[in-house]
Amino acid sequence: MKKIYLYGNWKMNMTQEETEGFYKDFVGQATPLAATMGKTLEVAVFPPFTSLGVAASAAKSLVSCPAPILGAQNVYFEPKGAFTGEVSIAMIKDVGCTHVILGHSERRTIFGETDKLIAKKVKATLDAGLVPVFCYGETLAEREGNATFDVVSRQLRALSALSPAELEKIIYAYEPVWAIGTGKSATSAEAQEVCAYSKRLAEEMGARSVTVLYGGSVKPDNAKELLSMDAIDGALVGGASLKADTFLRIYKGYAGI
């Protein structure tokens, strides 16, 4: 069975108390998967900044199953200084993060992040030894205008200054904007097509092989079909990652547990 990456983006949800609750439930749900976690299953959660500290502490108290990898949802590329409202890479590292989501469509569309800014964040994250989870994907208008591959190509080529070794350290997450938080997932064929294209593009840019997740309304009932596609290495999950039960059922459904 291939390795599955199950990553949960909590967005602007989950207080500290709710985060502790998630970790309590997580133990019960994940214990049957304890032997799999870290081998053919890699689980990560991305709480809001304010809950990273309690998540890191709660993770330390898990005994009967490995803790999920901890990541942040964003970071700034400058090391410190007058950047009100921003958080540095050293700060998220300090609180226990090893991963960080960058380029999420909500950052691109609501907060105006450009390909150039995101590329700077990716480079700074790699330089600090953290894993960027690089999100990209087309809007509905772009898909309907047959521009999906052009958009995806532009977003990925924004990373072309990176070395092959750096490109291989990134986890890529293809997230069509029209599928995020809408309940309307891409079909497995649509997701497979763009994930396979992304892998070819990364290879053209010099990487030998890369990990590509699909994100966009992944739930327990559509996960098996999506995760069975050969170009899809896992899922970046938003809404369905807020409850440990639903989140882990995404993997359990795929693995037939």
Among 175, 194, 250, 251, binds ligand PEP (CB under 6 A): 175
From the list 42, 106, 142, 175, the catalytic residue is 175
68: Cα separation from own chain's centroid: 13
- Contact between 237 and ligand PEP by CB under 6 A: the answer reads yes
- Contact between 181 and ligand PEP by CB under 6 A: the answer reads yes
Q: Give the residue at shortest CB distance from ligand PEP.
A: 238
Q: Give the per-residue contact string, 211-230, with ligand PEP (x = CB under 6 A; - = no).
A: ----xxxx------------
Is 104 one of the catalytic residues?
Answer: yes
Other CB atoms within 10 Å distance of the CB of residue 24:
13
Shortest Cβ distance from residue 140 to ligand PEP (Å)? Answer: 14
Cα separation, 40 vs 18, in Å, equals 28
- Contact between 9 and ligand PEP by CB under 6 A: the answer reads yes
Question: Which residues, including other chains, have CB under 8 Å from residue 225's CB and lie 6 or more apart?
Answer: 188
Is 175 one of the catalytic residues?
Answer: yes
Instruction: CB nearer to ligand PEP: give 96 or 239.
Output: 239
Question: Which residues, including other chains, have CB under 8 Å from residue 120's CB and lie 6 or more apart?
Answer: 77
Q: Exposed/middle/buried for 91, CB within 10 Å: 0-12, 13-18, 19+?
A: middle
Map residue 233 onto helix, strand or coil.
Answer: coil
- Contact between 171 and ligand PEP by CB under 6 A: the answer reads no
Say how many residues touch ligand PEP, by CB under 6 A.
Answer: 14
From the list 99, 104, 106, 113, the catalytic residue is 104
Map residue 58 onto helix, strand or coil.
Answer: helix
Shortest Cβ distance from residue 110 to ligand PEP (Å)? Answer: 12
- Contact between 8 and ligand PEP by CB under 6 A: the answer reads no
Other CB atoms within 10 Å distance of the CB of residue 112:
8
Map residue 18 onto helix, strand or coil.
Answer: helix
CA torsion, ordered 80, 115, 232, 42, to nearest 10 deg: 0
Q: What residues act catalytically?
A: 104, 175
**Which residues are near ligand PEP by CB under 6 A?**
9, 11, 175, 180-181, 215-218, 236-240
